[in-house]
Amino acid sequence: MGSRAMYRNWVQYQAMVVSEAVYDDEQKRGPDQGVYFHKGDNNSERFLIHVIGTTAFVAFCGTKDQSHFMELQEFELESINEGSELKAMKGTLNQRDKWIPLMVEAFEPSGIKHLVLTGHSRGGSIAFIKLAMYFINPHTNLNSNMVVEAIAFGSPYCFNGPFLCT
């Protein structure tokens, strides 16, 4: 197996580990070990950032309580951004104001070369919507050297069609 394939397997494994860890209320590792945990509250979404070398993993919490389950029941599609043809599930989009503490653009100046947005269930939907919002933002530097991707585990369908960035 080549080094690229080994790196890909490592990325997928780490994404799964971080997606599971975001559910844990008692994070045992501190920021000195490359982990930042935002527990979330009524105004912001729970997420965990784990940095290993120049790769950062950001995991969004999946369905954790009744309110999260109710969000997923709003299946209607609405535009993810004014003027965008790309649509996503309204229930997940209604939470987008809670994602503000995490700005994808902030990672590159800190030396991150690969950013992986991830999550299980509802968290996977949030990861993909956050990725789409990053790419359709007119201020995003599409010539950046930082690779940004999303990996979801057991995530519900959230878009009205394929999302491709060309």
Percent with pLDDT over 90 in the chain:
25
Cα R_g (the chain), whole angstroms = 15
* pLDDT at 42 (0 to 100): 65
Largest Cα–Cα separation, the chain: 46
All domains of the chain, ordered by start, with CATH? 3-153 (3.40.50.1820)
Within 13 Å and on the Cβ side, how many CA atoms surround 26?
A: 0
* pLDDT at 115 (0 to 100): 95
Torsion of CA 35, 156, 126, 83, to 10 degrees: 160
pTM of the model: 0.84
**CA angle at residue 40 from 141 to 17, to 5 degrees?**
75
- Per-residue model confidence as pLDDT tens digits over 77-123: 888 877 778 888 887 777 766 665 567 878 888 899 999 999 998 88
Percent with pLDDT over 70 in the chain:
78
Low-confidence ranges of the chain (pLDDT < 50): 30-32, 166
Q: Say if residues 119 and 152 touch (Cβ distance below 8 Å).
A: yes
* pLDDT at 166 (0 to 100): 47
